[in-house]
């Protein structure tokens, strides 16, 4: 599959596995992100993070949960994406009381589409890892903001400010 440039990125037209918790119950769905956008009539913030229950990833997920109402008022749904399993996501959601949706991309199809798997240096060894990245699509599916290789600390506040000013 050819990798589009950030300017040409669109929400992909294939299904992904997603989980969220609503009224104390887990809801698992297989969703198409294009269809999801049309169904919600809202924009979507798709953020990629390396691993459930790690320091930076937990900070980012809890920050998005804490600011969920502010992003909702601006007209955005928030969806986190990692290569973790649905079961791992459920534990992550429970442990940190997350109110956001999480996509399980165990086959890396979505990660490859957005080109967020890159060579990293971990403890002196080169490994392929997921690069923390965010892609913001408006309610029409147009990419309005993309940032790769970002730091989790204070990022959600900075993103909220960017989106508030546009």
Which residues are tagged catalytic? 57
- Select from 126, 65, 124 the least CA-distant residue to 98: 65
DSSP 30-75: EEEHHHHHHHHTSEEEEEE-S-TTSHHHHHHHHHHHHTHHHHHHTT
Rg (CA), the chain: 15
- Select from 140, 135, 162 the least CA-distant residue to 67: 162
> Quick one: how far is CA 149 from the chain centroid?
14
């Amino acid at each position: 599959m050819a990798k589009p440039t950030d300017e040409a990125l669109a929400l992909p037209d294939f299904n992904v596995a997603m989980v969220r918790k609503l009224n104390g119950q887990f809801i698992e769905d297989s969703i198409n992100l294009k269809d999801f956008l049309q169904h919600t009539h809202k924009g979507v913030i798709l953020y990629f993070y390396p691993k459930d229950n790690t320091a930076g990833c937990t900070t980012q997920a809890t920050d998005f949960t804490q600011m969920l109402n502010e992003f909702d008022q601006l007209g955005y749904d928030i969806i986190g994406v990692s290569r973790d399993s649905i079961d791992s996501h459920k534990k992550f959601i429970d442990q940190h009381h997350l109110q956001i949706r999480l996509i399980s991309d165990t086959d890396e199809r979505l990660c490859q589409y957005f080109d967020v798997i890159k060579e990293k240096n971990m403890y002196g060894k080169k490994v392929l890892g997921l690069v923390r990245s965010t892609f913001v699509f408006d309610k029409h599916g147009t990419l309005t903001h993309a940032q790769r290789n970002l730091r989790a600390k204070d990022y959600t506040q900075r993103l909220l400010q960017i989106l508030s000013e546009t």
